[in-house]
Every structure is written in structure tokens, then in C-alpha cells.
Amino acid sequence: MLKGFKSFVMRGDIVTVAVGLIIALALSTLIKAFTDSVINPIIASLQGGRSMGLGWQLGRPGNQATYLDLGAFISAVIYFVIFMAVVYFFIVVPYKHVQARRGVVVFAEPGPLKTCPACLCEDLPAPARKCRYCGSEQELA
């Protein structure tokens, strides 16, 4: 049982996914700190005055629970965009390049699709001879 678990854990794709998750977590922490320390004060300063941030007080003044904080939402959107750009440019693009040098195509666009006339599924590959859902014969395009 332990031998099977060891072979499962030591597979190349499991290790690759684990390393990717660790890197993503570290990048997330770094970008979150940047957003909280740099972006949030800039957004809060846009409101001006003695406000709690960029937004509106819906209830009693000074009550944080009834404050509609648009600045926090804008900050979260900026965080998401920065995080996804970092993941794409520092993880996905180099990974695609390394895999292309090995002759493996990753993150490729799917090929052309066709619709099965019998069951109307729309995700059959164009060169398919049989429908994967209903098994009906397909015309070659």
C-alpha cells in the first residue's frame, strides 16, 4: 500500500502541480501585501477627507458594518488582475516554452468541432467518425 502511495506522489505531474501551487501561494502573498500597502491607500485617498475609504456610509456614521466600501472591491479587482498576469507571464508562458522545446503542446486551442445530427451534441471533433455520446456514424467533413 505504501509503495503505491509513493509511486503516486512521485509522479512527475503531481510534483509539478504541487510546485505550481506553492509558487502561486507565495506570489499571492506578495501581491496581496502590495495591494494592501500601496494600492489601498491610493484608492482610499481618492475619497479625501476623514472617510473610512472610497465608498458610502449607509447607516450610522462610523459604523464599519454599514459602510459600503467600493475601495476594497476595486482593490480586490486590481489584486486579481495583477495575480493572474504574474501567473500567466511567470508560470504559464515559461512552461509553454519549455514544453514546446520538448515537443509537447500545452494550452493549445481546441481543434474545429461539429454537431452530431442524431443527438445534437456540439463538442465532437471535426474528424470524428462516431458520436461519443450516442454512437451514431458521422459524415466526414
pLDDT tens digits along 59-117? 777 777 777 777 778 888 888 888 888 888 887 888 888 888 888 777 777 778 889 98
Find where cell 502573498 sits: 29
Decide if 79 contacts 35 (C-beta within 8 A).
yes
Decide if 39 contacts 75 (C-beta within 8 A).
yes
pTM beyond cutoff 0.85: no
Q: pLDDT-derived band of residue 52, with 50, 70 and 90 as boundaries?
A: low
Range picked from 21-25, 55-59, 84-88, 114-118 for highest mean pLDDT = 114-118
